[in-house]
Amino acid sequence: MAYKERMGDGRLVEMSKEEMIRDIEAGCNDAAERGKISALSEDAQERLLDIMISPERVASVEPENTVVFSTDNGCHSLYGNFSEAGGVGLPIHSVTANMLMERALGFDSVFYGWLDFCFKAAKAVITQHQQELESILMNTVSPCIYGAMPNLGGYYKPDGPFENVGDLMAEGKILEGMEVYERLVDHAKEDIVWVSEQLTRVGVDCINIDTTGAAGDGDFLSSLKACEELKKQTGLSIEMGMASEFVMGIHGGLEYDGNVLAGMYPHKQVKMAEKAGVDIFGPVVNTNTRQSTPWNIARAITFTKECSRVANIPLHPNMGMGVGGLPMAEMPPLDAVTKASKAMVELAGVDGI
């Protein structure tokens, strides 16, 4: 018997049960080998197979297993109409979009973030952000999260004052590139802290430092330092969402709390986040577009389950385009989204999505 499944790029394909069993085992083993962690048990793999072969269009959990939602640009899925973050292009305001997310779609939090989604860029429009957030807060009840990313790449010329670290290293100027990269860390940290402090003045409930580590170990370090300072100065709730399952070593020697950041997988990333004072951690597992969804979900569950095992703070894994076992598509297919989410809750023991 053939079952309809997805590939990592979203294509609909047919797979036999035997093919899915092989892919689930291979995905688990890939994660276990890379992260030096335990693979899913045979019982867990069998349960994942049951979820994957379910004929329903939408998979769900039992009522007692429901979890909360936090969002990264959730409201943009309604009024956005550009490729990077998708969206259906409804002609509505961010306030209206968040009211719909809360009142019609049942989301547990509302969200605001500028389309550029970068703390550095947000500095120039912080007054507008304060006004927007105040309107959202006055018209909604759920906790309001403001999100942006450190984006160390935005500090390179011509957008910023620094030489491009990648170019310097490509030219053999390794030490010079490392020195520039170290300076970038403090600049990004200061911008995250300053923007967040301005938003506390209008009552934002949580800051989502998102896509952390996209520009490597310095990107992660700037976020950790910013979180540490914000917790001391404001006590603000902080969610940290990662950019990748693996922290790239652009510098390679940067440390936090005596630990080298380069090369960390989710189960080690979360310990750094805890040390910095993060309240909610969003682990990421990247999707391989050439592999099936059963392979990708099995791999994502294996990494996330280990992260959940060692974590002392709530986990909200990033489940979107190209991460969390989901296909790399602007609007991931509903069948893949719900099966992956169900598996995250039941098998990885996450606290939210």
DSSP for 112-179, written as a single string: E--TT-BHHHHGGGHHHHHHHHHHHHHH--S-EEEEEB--GGGGBTTTSSBPPHHHHHHTT-HHHHHH
Which residues lie across from 323 on neighbouring strands? 286, 320
pLDDT per residue as tens digits for the range 224-251: 999 999 999 999 999 999 999 999 999 9
Closest CA to 348 of 316, 290, 302, 292: 302
Structural Rg of the chain based on CA atoms: 20
Q: Is the pLDDT of residue 73 over 80?
A: no
- Rounded CA-CA distance 146/196 in Å is 9
pLDDT at position 207 is 96
**Contact at 8 Å (CB) between 299 and 290?**
no
Distance CA 264, CA 277 (A): 18
User: What local confidence, expressed as pLDDT, does residue 86 receive?
Assistant: 66
Looking at residue 71, its pLDDT comes to 81
229: which 2 tokens? 């300072």
- The residue with greater pLDDT, 86 or 217, is 217
- Which whole-number Å values give the CA distances from 179 to 79, 164, 211, 310, in the listed order? 41, 12, 23, 34
The pLDDT of residue 89 is 80
H or E segment and range at residue 15: strand 12-16
For residue 343, pLDDT over 70 is answered with yes
In the chain, pLDDT over 70 holds for what percent of residues?
A: 99
Across residues 150-177, what is the average pLDDT?
A: 93
Q: What is the mean pLDDT of residues 293-311?
A: 98
Contact 269, 230 (CB under 8 A): no
* pLDDT band for position 297 (cuts 50, 70, 90): very high
Whether the Cβ atoms of residue 73 and residue 85 lie closer than 8 Å to each other? yes
Summary mean pLDDT of the chain: 93
pLDDT tens readout for residues 105-135: 888 999 998 877 899 999 999 999 999 999 9
Find the mean pLDDT for residues 246-260: 96
- pLDDT tens per residue across span 1-47: 899 999 999 999 999 999 999 999 999 999 999 999 999 999 999 99
- The two most distant CA atoms of the chain are separated, in Å, by 60
C-alpha span between 318 and 309 (Å, rounded):
17
Domains and CATH numbers, the chain: 2-348 (3.20.20)
Residue in 281, 351, 348, 350 with CA at minimum distance from that of residue 28: 348
pLDDT at 200 over 60: yes
Q: 90 pLDDT band (50/70/90 cuts)?
A: confident
Per-residue model confidence as pLDDT tens digits over 127-161: 999 999 999 999 999 999 999 999 999 999 998 89
Number of Cα atoms under 13 Å in the Cβ half of residue 236: 31
Give me the pLDDT at residue 57, please: 87
* Contact by Cβ (8 Å): 126, 198: yes
Residue 245: the pLDDT is: 96
